[in-house]
Structure 1
Amino acid sequence: MIDPDIRLRVRRILRGERRQDDLDRIFLYLRTRHFGRESIQEIGDFVAHRDRRQKGPVTRTARDVFVSFRNWLRTTQGLPFTAEDIIRAANANLRIATADQLRSRLDLRPEVVKSVLTQAVRKLERGKKLTTREERVFNYLGGAFIWNPAFTDHSIFDDLGEVLRQNGYLEEADEASFETIRHFLSLYVLTIMHGSALLMENGDLAHLQAGFRNKEAKLEVKAHLVSQDFSKPVIVPLCLYWTSLEAQQHSNLCSSAKQNGRVLWILGRMGCFALRSSPVYGDVIIHPLRILSFASGCHRCFESGHQK
């Protein structure tokens, strides 16, 4: 059934009016009518409860990336880790990795990678030998640090259009008008996420901040994840929402146009060093792990890796 108020707000946006309260109401309405589009439910949840997020794709992505990074850092710096740590990181990396990353690294479809990883874990728990393919999948997912945003402005725009169509609020004749809201929607999501906080599994809060400190000078929302495994904090600036908007074109939201690129600062026992990473998507493999036997503990064989 069409809601007259929502229909009015959609038509108003399509006519060119730009009111935040219209999008607030639309996302709140669609959060229970999203047809499986997670981004729409997530933005609606941010509108309803933005102070502290404990669930949803953005929180899940931040937690998974933190697990991936912490596992990678501990293994590269020689800190103790367990088989359970590696399995947890492998499952987190599987959720983070894009289909393109899995095809590039493993030449396998995501559903195949998931099946192979499940089988590899079962065999390792029983002390059985892995096949070459199982070992390759486990090495990558268990030994890599993978990072990706939860959403991009393009994915949210596409999802909103599809959900509005399926709910009967957007027709074919509206497509050109709907296209004009793209930048407004991108900025709206930026402001909705900025200032919120994610509750991490260790009880820490990761605060979300809008900015443009990246090589492309594009507007984004980051969370700063902190690990306390070393004598000094390890800070990971993670992009969770990436936009195609250039900061200089929206200078009212930016306090500075100076760019130094994305830098991942690692503060550890050996001092500090910087790892320059790709702006949005990426993975780093320093030494993939070969876990040969759970019964006798974790055996590591370090291989030379490469950064994509």
Structure 2
Amino acid sequence: MTFDKGLRIRVERLLAGAHHARDLDELFLALRQRSFGAKLVREIGDFSAHRQERDQGIACKSIQNFALLMGFSWRRDTARREGLPIPGDIDDFLSTSLAALEMDHDDNLRATLRMPRGQVVKLLRSAHRKIVDVRDGQPVFSEELSPKERAVCDRYFFAVPLQWAFDEDNLVGDLATCLVKNRLICDEELEILKTRGQEIAVFAMDRMHLSSVPLPGGTVATLHIGREWADGDENLSINAHIPVDIGRPNVFLMTLLFKTRCRVEHWLEPREFAEALQPASGIIEPVEINAAGKLQVLV
């Protein structure tokens, strides 16, 4: 195979586990212009390229989408709990549904809607144009939606899925695609690349510099975590009450999502939890699932 010799050396070091952060920086920087549609590789390459912007707190599109959806859900759920009118702006439905769509896996689209992403966008925009009012947090349409419009609205307008598509498997898969298409790796080496997934994910998390994204202050997230055990699939439901109004809450939450593939179900008030969970430093570090299957906060 033909390849860029300098980049190939960095790939070899990565496969051997002898790489440095600079090796991954150079790989993502080079591949951002040759990503073949792999947006995760392109975004991390952008962050490596714009270090100064990253240090100033500019977040990538994926993180912005996630923060937008969490804020949207928090406002609505808080109103429901306190018996207040559920807030809703006509434009909110389009912005949040498009954000949810961007975060949704292509496999999910094929399995649920059976239509290409571009068609889903057109249908969401078409349905949005028919909204004339918002009552009790739900859109009111000027006319009946078509069956396809109804299908995409049921998935994105009425039940916004906070599914985090930026997980380790997606990232390694996109990187593998780029390396193969750029002739920087051979098929026999792809399984070795998968074993480096956690190291690549940690690098990506650092480059995304998540602490720039504002999350709703004074809230606590309840996370329901699904985990695949060594002896088969098993859903593990854990309530993790996490204050998000402290030092670097979004780094904490996003690292949690990366490691456990969990999703945010709803928000709770932090009065009874914040004082107990907030360490003296004001920063919560990443979490893991320990051997007993419990959520362990590493502080």
- 2:138 corresponds to which residue? none
- Contact kept in structure 2, 1:40 and 1:160, CA below 8 Å: yes
Letter in 1 for 2:43: E
| Candidates 123, 126, 138, aligned match of 2:153 | 138
| Candidates 266, 289, 293, aligned match of 2:268 | 266
- 1:34 corresponds to which residue? 35
The answer to whether 1:56 aligns with 2:55 is: no
Residue deviations 1:158-179, cap 9 Å, x none?
A: 1111111111211234334434
Give the whole-Å Cα distance in 2 for the aligned partners of 1:205 and 1:75: 14
- 1:118 corresponds to which residue? 125
- Contact kept in structure 2, 1:65 and 1:147, CA below 8 Å: yes
Cα distance, 1:103–1:272 mapped onto 2, change above 3 Å: farther
| Candidates 149, 160, 166, aligned match of 2:175 | 160
Task: Pick the structure with more strand per residue.
Answer: 1
Q: How does 1:93-108 map to 2 (within 5 A)?
A: 93-98=100-105
Consecutive unaligned residues in structure 1, runs of 5 or more:
207-211, 227-234, 247-260, 274-308
Residue deviations 1:75-109, cap 9 Å, x none?
A: 634144333333433433333444566678x7553
Give the whole-Å Cα distance in 2 for the aligned partners of 1:27 and 1:8: 14
The answer to whether 1:151 aligns with 2:158 is: no
Letter in 1 for 2:201: S
The normalised TM-score by structure 1 is 0.57
Cα distance, 1:139–1:3 mapped onto 2, change above 3 Å: closer
- Contact kept in structure 1, 2:94 and 2:124, CA below 8 Å: no
- Contact kept in structure 2, 1:148 and 1:240, CA below 8 Å: no
| Candidates 192, 201, 211, aligned match of 1:197 | 211
Task: Pick the structure with more helix per residue.
Answer: 2
- Contact kept in structure 1, 2:127 and 2:153, CA below 8 Å: yes
The normalised TM-score by structure 2 is 0.58
Q: Considering only aligned residues, what root-mean-square deviation do their CA atoms show, in Å?
A: 4.4
Letter in 2 for 1:109: M
Consecutive unaligned residues in structure 2, runs of 5 or more:
134-140, 218-222, 230-241, 274-299
Task: Tell me the secondary structure at the aligned position of residue 147 of structure 1.
Answer: coil
The alpha-carbon deviation at position 239 of structure 1 amounts to: 3.6
Give the whole-Å Cα distance in 1 for the aligned partners of 2:204 and 2:40: 11
Residue deviations 1:126-182, cap 9 Å, x none?
A: 974113634564355333342122411111111111111111211234334434433
Q: Percent identity?
A: 22
The alpha-carbon deviation at position 57 of structure 1 amounts to: 3.3
Give the whole-Å Cα distance in 1 for the aligned partners of 2:71 and 2:113: 24
The alpha-carbon deviation at position 183 of structure 1 amounts to: 3.6
The aligned length equals 234
Cα distance, 1:59–1:125 mapped onto 2, change above 3 Å: same
The answer to whether 1:84 aligns with 2:98 is: no
